[in-house]
Amino acid sequence: MRSLAVVGGGVIGLAVAWRAAEDGWSVTLFDPSVGSGASWVAGGMLAPLSEGWPGEDAVLAFGAASLARWPEFARRIEAGTGRSVFVADATLTVALDAADVADMRTVAEWLRGRGHDLRLLDRAGVRALEPTLTRTARTGLLAPTEPAIDNRVLVGALRQLAEAAGVLVLAESVESLDLLPHDQIVLAAGAHSASLWPDLPVRPVKGEILRLRRRPGATPVPGRVIRARVHGRSVYLVPRADGIVVGATQYEAGFDTAVTVAGVRDLIADAEEVLPGIGEYELAEAAAGSRPGSPDNLPLIGRLSDRVVSATGHGRNGMLAVPLTVDAVLSLLAGATLPDAEAADPQRLSSQLAVRATGQEATARRNHGGPRERRQSSTGGVR
Ligand SMILES: Cc1cc2nc3c(=O)[nH]c(=O)nc-3n(C[C@H](O)[C@H](O)[C@H](O)COP(=O)(O)OP(=O)(O)OC[C@H]3O[C@@H](n4cnc5c(N)ncnc54)[C@H](O)[C@@H]3O)c2cc1C
């Protein structure tokens, strides 16, 4: 039986380990703290359409191909664990001012041209669908096939499935890929992946996010994911069984995962503009995590050497990307490539990255092993 080391136990590493073990690999997963990274913090939207923006065609195509795989992927999870991961089955983006209305129409037109027919709603249509939202919502864009999942349920289910399939989970940090004796290695260490393959262009992108618990008598939780832009900042509300997840800030701040007062203040203020009754909720948790960002918002899924496959760089869309990433990695391990994931091959960034022959991982470490430059903080959009 061929041996596989999976480095990193977020949703990407756990899902790859599970499915590879089912495919007959002898899998060891290394992570000092399984499921503690961005996968634990995330909101759980599966939103390639609502996140889409004219010009980002490759990102849209990758995300849509992964979304199409989610129902079957979730069915397998449910069959193996008895747990459903879905918390909503549609996404509604609302426009609060004239500029947002114009942008919304542009995006809807762009998506329509690519075969994704979203529904534009007027003010009354928005209210009919989600009566607790602000009366200032002028129009809405409904993505009826964009669901959301509970990322924490997903982490638990994937770990359960991986262990049931025979994956050996070791609570160890990998210091160098050279030290691993396995036939193949999948690098899935999220935002930390570049510390193990230093010229891999993955960087941490900080995000703060809130978990609100609905108290008795408080405004009901919306039935769909709600997205909006408030004062130029995007905000989203993702339903949970017991409340709402409100996200998220986005900063270039290195590996800083402190939750700032300003981050919490802005998220609450923006969420309240969209759902006025939210002040009645309990603030249950404020957290921050590091998204594994890539230079062009596509992940980095492909061969780095004869022995190492990269499965990282998923940025804002790592939950969405799990099923396609798993299929792509299994194909690579079988010596093939998956057409839907070819755009994510790290070689598109070849000026920053060199494919190496087996055994050259050590050289790479020595040459490029210094600390990454710390990036200065700058506020940006969302998620
Ligand atoms: C605030 C926020 C909101 C988000 N919302 C969404 C959303 O709504 N939808 C969506 O699709 N995506 C969302 N994301 C993005 C998503 O969470 C990530 O893209 C995804 O979790 C990445 O998964 P991962 O397994 O690659 O990384 P991680 O979950 O970060 O896991 C990496 C793992 O590697 C381990 N590790 C690191 N170094 C080593 C080492 N040397 N040896 C062994 N193990 C190591 C870590 O302990 C960690 O467990 C959000 C992210 C944030 C921060």
Q: Is the CB of 326 under 6 A from ligand 1?
A: no
Tell me what pLDDT residue 164 has: 98
pLDDT of 376 above 60: no
The token pair at 189 is: 């260490």
pLDDT digits (tens, 9 = 90+) for 3-15: 999 999 999 999 9
Name the pLDDT band for 232 (thresholds 50, 70, 90).
confident
Supply the Cα-derived Rg of the chain in whole angstroms.
Answer: 21
Q: Which atom of ligand 1 is nearest to the CA of 236?
A: 8
Sign of CA dihedral 267, 374, 34, 23: positive
Q: What's the pLDDT at 364?
A: 34
Residue 302 phi, psi (nearest 5): 170, 180
Does the pLDDT value for residue 350 go beyond 50?
yes
Does the beta carbon of 364 lie inside 6 Å of ligand 1? no
Is the per-residue pLDDT at 261 higher than 50? Answer: yes
**Ligand 1, closest atom to CA 315?**
19
Residue 358: the pLDDT is 42
Domains and CATH numbers, the chain: 3-40+152-200+295-368 (3.50.50.60)
| Residue 343 predicted with pLDDT over 60 | yes
> What band does 355 get if pLDDT is binned at 50, 70 and 90?
low
Percent of all residues in the chain with a pLDDT value above 70, rounded to a whole number: 92
Is residue 37 within 6 Å of ligand 1 at its C-beta?
A: yes
pLDDT class of 367 with cuts at 50, 70, 90 = very low
Q: What is the pLDDT of residues 110-129, one digit of tens each?
A: 999 999 989 999 999 999 99
Residue among 6, 11, 256 to mutate when testing ligand 1 (max atoms within 8 A of CB): 11
Beta-sheet strand order (sheet of 91-95): 119-121, 139-143, 91-95, 225-230, 233-240, 243-247, 203-213, 282-293
Please, which pLDDT band fits residue 351 given cuts at 50, 70 and 90? confident
Nearest CA among 19, 58, 59, 62 for reference residue 340: 62
Residue type, 196: L
Q: What is the DSSP string of 251-308?
A: B--TT--PPPHHHHHHHHHHHHHHSGGGGGSEEEEEEEEEEEE-TTSS-EEEESBSSE
